Amino acid sequence: MMPDDRDITALLAAHADGDPHAFDQAVASVYPELRRVARGQRRGSPSGATLDTTAVVHEAYLKLIGAAGANLRSRGHFLAVAATAMRQVAVDHARARRRAKRGGDRVQVSLDEATVAEGRKLDEILAVHGALERLAEKDPRLVRVVECRYFAGMTEPETADALGLSISSVQRAWRTAKQSLRRTV
């Protein structure tokens, strides 16, 4: 049985009040959703990528633990923060893979199609990240909407709830962000 939003909110409130086990209980309660978000983010990842869905969720969990003092207000807000953490995991992983591909002093003797395709996908992840960073300088709210809608797969009402916005504000921000990203990626 899936806990409802009130259960998650109560666990997050208990965590904020100092219950050392409440955060882990909240994570366990939304774990299937976190896996769904991670699967969505990994869609289109290079085949043979070493970071699988479980690893993405667990790496994000470690980032969330580091920010455990954050005032997580609701299930939606928690998933929005988790989506940001997962995006950071994907970017960190892409950067590490690119560094490894450069090979230091090693000489690369052959390129196959899979290697070239993986390099393009890593470049794409980093290009999207760079575009989102530039967009954040102009309007951080647009980036939060992108993280909720694209990276977390949230609906407009879920995004509105998570970010404390109206649905029409989410719709406008989503349109604006997509237009801006199309121009820069």
* pLDDT of res. 67: 65
**6-10, 95-99, 127-131: segment of lowest average pLDDT:** 95-99
> How is residue 148 written in tokens?
């909720």
Read off the pTM. Answer: 0.71
- pLDDT at residue 162 above 50? yes
In whole angstroms, give the CA distance from residue 79 to residue 29.
Answer: 12
pLDDT of residue 168: 97
**Ordered DSSP codes for 127-178:** HHHHHHHHHHHH-HHHHHHHIIIIIS---HHHHHHHHT--HHHHHHHHHHHH
